[in-house]
Chain A
Amino acid sequence: MENINTPLLEADALTKAYEPDVLALDQVSFKIYTGQIYAMLGANGAGKSTTINIFLNFIEPTNGRALVDGIETHVNPLRAREKLAYVSENVMLYPNFSAIQNLEYFSKLGGHDYYTKSDYHEALERVGLEKSSHNRKLGDYSKGMRQKCGIAIAILKNAPAIVLDEPTSGLDPKAGHDFTDLLLELKDEGKAILISTHDIFRAKQMADMVGIMSKGKIVTEQSKKELQQQDLEQLYLQYILKENNQVQEN
């Protein structure tokens, strides 16, 4: 059981410079505790994906640290990844494998080689995939079905933290709604969830904390309570427009 005082996901003054004077991330800090959802909102190029890439140790930070359950991702990436599940914007699995085969492979990669076939069926049913589709090749799946399969993989990984990179983009409203419900369930189970999204409506609906990112910085952070008294869309546009104006003035 994780210590309630230790954030499961923590960005500590994360800075990433691809070129000396171009900062993709500038002193980004946040903490996500067990049973919390943190939504990163921002336009394309705001730094959301860079943050996620650092958590997955696909890139190393220039300065600062990304921690998963207290483990620094670029110091001990393999241990950090054990505690982190990931769902991408466009879940791409092996098209020649069935859903079950994909789940089996990725679960084993995650270190869970004790699952039985019924565990896989159960996980797929939980995310809303009908049993008849479980043995179908992924090549025949729609994007929504693949996203569900991706979340089933994350569930089976049973990691305390989950990172999702724009998981609802391109999903129809029903699939998006189901997805949100599922994330809320996972939150209730005590998972710490970091989600990057453009979807203001869903961010407000499910997030305990929303960070609006622009030009590599978190320009404002609002808690669920604060958001109830504000129009998130107005807030988002206000910050985005402000940044854009600054750029034009410069």
Chain B
Amino acid sequence: MIKTIIYKELLEHLQTRKFVWTFTVCSVLILISFYIGAANYQMNLDKYNAAKAENLRQFSGLTDWLQVTGHHAFLPPSPLESIITGVSNDIGRSAEIFSRGELTSANSRYSNDPLFAVFRFLDLTFIFQIILSIFAILFSYDAVNGEKQQGTLRLTFSNPVPKDKYIIGKITGSFFAIALPLMLPLLLGCLILIFMGIELSLTEWIQLFLVILAGLVYFNFFQLLSFLASIVLPKPSLSFLSMLILWLLFVFVIPNASVLIAGKAVNVPSVDYLDYQKSRLRSQLLQEDRNKMAQFNPINTQDPEKMIQEFQEFMQDLGDSRNERLMDFSGRLNEDRQNKKGIQKRIALGIARISPAALFGLAVSTISGTSLDLDNNFIKNVQGYQTVYQQFMKEKTGILLDQGTVMMKINDDGENQPPPIDINELPAFVYQPVSINQNIKPFVVNLSILLVLNALCFTGALIGFLKYDVR
């Protein structure tokens, strides 16, 4: 019985013009998104390699490690972020490395190419979140009340058809009528990646599979909700209008409102304000140090070399002490900001999770490694690298320079030019992405909430239909 109903649903959908148009639009968009994603990845990889090479090239010919300034670490592009962009285009892709001081990321793709920020990329998240959810509504808003209006429901139930089997068969058939044909462009999209030389590791293939799985669960939510609307509301026009309003709420209003509400609820100091505070302290400390420098009284006044060495040590001590106080102050400010941001994030995500669109977005950006944590992880990596860099520079120069500090060394031995430094000795920055094991938990949490919403809609549709007047 269920098989007959599923088959009929499949056949009925596949024979409509609506399906032909939907399938064509979806296929074209999915294929374009994979193609653009792959092309962007290649372009970003080239940019990344060029930036890395240029970073090292700028140091060629230098003869002293003290002259090495403006060294950068770069966030490498990942193949998945070209298909599920998340925040990868919004965050800084590089960070200037100093031996001491606070590191920040800069140069986001959108800051370099603001035009893309206006239109954004057509990625899989966008296709599922916006387009497929609309199609799910288009295919199901009249699933039950449309049949009643058409008169086929009466004839159907003049046969020995149990209501539960009928509605389950209809839901399943409608789901597969869209989901199965969608697999074709998705598979072709994967082939595009392979043919364009984008190598995905096994983990990345698993991540991509999980993204598609989440997409289908999200798509199914809108289909189930449309079924529920078509059972509860008497006319297809009413159920369509209601679904459109719900869609707007879920896709746009709730996610945006959640950020606004969280912003109002918790006042997080801006980065500029923090920089101002840090800068003020830095000026104050420098002023104090200048006073101390004026009071510098060398022990070895006879030997100029020893005196210079003594002065250098004095300055290093001052620098260390100043840096310690600055780092301590910055750390406290940053921690306070991070804590407030954490509360703000929890409030925003808590509200946003009412929306299945937000749940889907969070789930896929987490599993593909393009969530809000991408920036934090890059900074963590860079901070880890700073320690290695610090040790290296200390070994090479004997001192640590602050951000923006330059030490001039004058060599008056014109005939014995010192040999250039071997820049290959500089420790390489190796980015460690967040592992799938770390990402799977938040992904499962978001997906589970989405599944619960699906289950609620399904139960509602089932109970509603069991009580439904089929006349």
Which residues in A have some Cβ–Cβ distance to B below 8 Å? 53, 56, 58-59, 78-79, 81-82, 84-86, 88, 90-97, 101, 105-106, 108-111, 113, 150, 153, 157, 163
Q: Which residues of B contact A (CB under 8 A)?
A: 1, 4-5, 8, 11-12, 15-16, 150-152, 154-162, 469-471
Known: A85-B158, A91-B155, A93-B152. 13 other contacts (CB 8 A): A53-B471, A78-B162, A81-B157, A88-B154, A95-B150, A96-B16, A97-B11, A97-B15, A101-B11, A106-B156, A111-B160, A113-B4, A153-B155
Chain A hits for B4, CB < 8 A: 105, 108-109, 113
**A to B CB contacts below 8 Å, 27 in the list:** A53-B471, A59-B471, A81-B159, A81-B160, A85-B158, A86-B158, A88-B154, A88-B155, A92-B150, A92-B151, A93-B155, A94-B12, A94-B152, A95-B150, A96-B15, A96-B16, A101-B11, A105-B4, A105-B8, A106-B155, A106-B159, A109-B4, A109-B5, A109-B159, A150-B155, A153-B155, A163-B158
Smallest CB-CB A-B distances: 3 pairs: A92-B151, A86-B158, A109-B159
Minimum CB distance partner of A113 in chain B: B4
Asked if A109 and B1 make an inter-chain contact with CB atoms under 8 angstroms apart, the answer reads yes
* Beta-carbon nearest neighbor of B166 in chain A: A109
B332 shortest CB reach to chain A, Å: 69
Residue of B with least CB distance to A109: B159
Q: Which residues of B sit under 8 angstroms from A82, Cβ to Cβ? A: 160
B150 (CB) vs chain A CBs: closest residue: A92
State A84–B157 Cα separation when bound (angstroms).
11
Query: Which chain B residue lies CB-closest to A96?
Result: B15
A109 touches B161 (CB 8 A): yes
> Which chain B residues lie closer than 8 Å to A84 at the CB level?
158
Task: Tell me if B160 and A79 are in contact (CB < 8 A).
Answer: yes
Complex Cα spacing A174 to B274, Å: 90
Which residues of chain B have C-beta atoms less than 8 A from A113's C-beta?
Answer: 4
Asked whether B12 lies within 8 Å of A96 as measured between CB atoms, the reply is yes
Q: A204 to B239, alpha carbons, bound, how many Å?
A: 45
With both chains docked as a complex, state the minimum distance between the C-beta of B355 and any C-beta of chain A, in angstroms: 34
Chain B nearest Cβ from A64, distance in angstroms = 19
Give the CA-CA distance A97 to B157 in the complex, in Å: 19
Instruction: Report chain B residues within 8 Å CB of A94.
Output: 8, 12, 152
A50 vs B159: C-alpha distance when bound (angstroms): 18
**Nearest CB of chain A from residue B471's CB, rounded to whole Å:** 5
What are the residues of chain A within 8 A of B154 when measuring CB–CB?
56, 58, 86, 88
Which of B11, B150, B156, B471 makes the CB contact (< 8 A) with A109? B156
Report the minimum CB–CB distance from B82 to chain A (whole Å): 39
* Bound-state Cα–Cα, A93 to B469, Å: 19
- Quick one: which of B1, B155, B162, B471 has the most chain A CB within 10 A? B155
Query: Who on chain B is nearest to A110 by CB?
Result: B159
Chain A residue at minimum C-beta to C-beta distance from B162: A78
Partner of A58, one of B12, B159, B161, B471: B471
User: What separation, in Å, do the CA atoms of A69 and B4 have in the docked complex?
Assistant: 27
Bound complex: CA A91 to CA B151 (Å) = 7
Report the minimum CB–CB distance from A57 to chain B (whole Å).
8
Cα(A106)–Cα(B1), bound, Å: 11
B residues less than 8 Å from A81 (CB atoms): 157-161
Cα separation A79 to B161 with both chains bound (whole Å) = 10
- The CA of A96 and the CA of B471, in the complex, are separated in Å by 22
Residue of B nearest to A82 (CB): B160
Give the contacting residue for B160; candidates A78, A95, A97, A153; CB below 8 A: A78
Residues of A within 8 A of B162 (CB): 78
CB-based contact B12/A97 at 8 Å: yes
In whole Å, how far is A169's beta carbon from the nearest beta carbon of chain B? 14
- A92–B15 alpha-carbon span in the complex (Å): 18
Question: Complex formed: what's the CA distance from A168 to B21 in Å?
Answer: 39
A86-B155 contact given A92-B150, A97-B11, A111-B160, CB 8 Å threshold = yes
Q: Which residue on chain A has the smallest CB distance to residue B154?
A: A88
Query: How far, in whole Å, are A82 and B151 apart by their CA atoms in the complex?
Result: 20
**With A97-B11, A101-B11 in contact, do A56 and B155 touch (Cβ < 8 Å)?**
no
Smallest CB gap from A55: residue in B:
B158
By a CB distance below 8 angstroms, the chain A residues around B469 are 58
Chain A nearest CB: distance from B275 CB in Å? Answer: 64
Q: Name, among A82, A96, A153, the residue most crowded by chain B CB atoms within 10 Å (CB to CB).
A: A96
Determine the distance from Cα of A150 to Cα of B151 in the docked complex, in whole angstroms.
12
Q: Shortest beta-carbon distance, A132 to chain B, in Å?
A: 20
- Specify which chain B residues have a CB less than 8 angstroms from the CB of A157 in the assembled complex: 159
Write the nearest CB–CB distance from A104 to chain B, whole angstroms: 9
Q: Closest residue of chain B to A112, judged by CB? A: B159
CB distance from B26 to the nearest CB of A (A): 20
Q: Please, how many angstroms separate the alpha-carbon atoms of A53 and B469 in the complex?
A: 11
A106–B160 CA distance with the chains assembled, in angstroms: 11
Residues of B within 8 A of A111 (CB): 159-160
Q: Once the chains bind, are B158 and A56 in contact (CB under 8 Å)?
A: yes
B158–A90 touching, CB < 8 Å? no
Cβ contacts under 8 Å, B161 to chain A: 78, 81, 109
Q: How far is the CA of A97 from the CA of B159 in the complex (A)?
A: 19
What chain B residues lie within 8 Å of A97 (beta carbons)?
11-12, 15
Contact B159 A88 (CB under 8 A): no
Distance, CA A101 to CA B4, complexed state (A): 12
Q: How far, in whole Å, are A101 and B158 apart by their CA atoms in the complex? A: 18
| Chain A residues whose CB sits within 8 angstroms of the CB of B159 once the complex forms | 81, 106, 109-111, 157
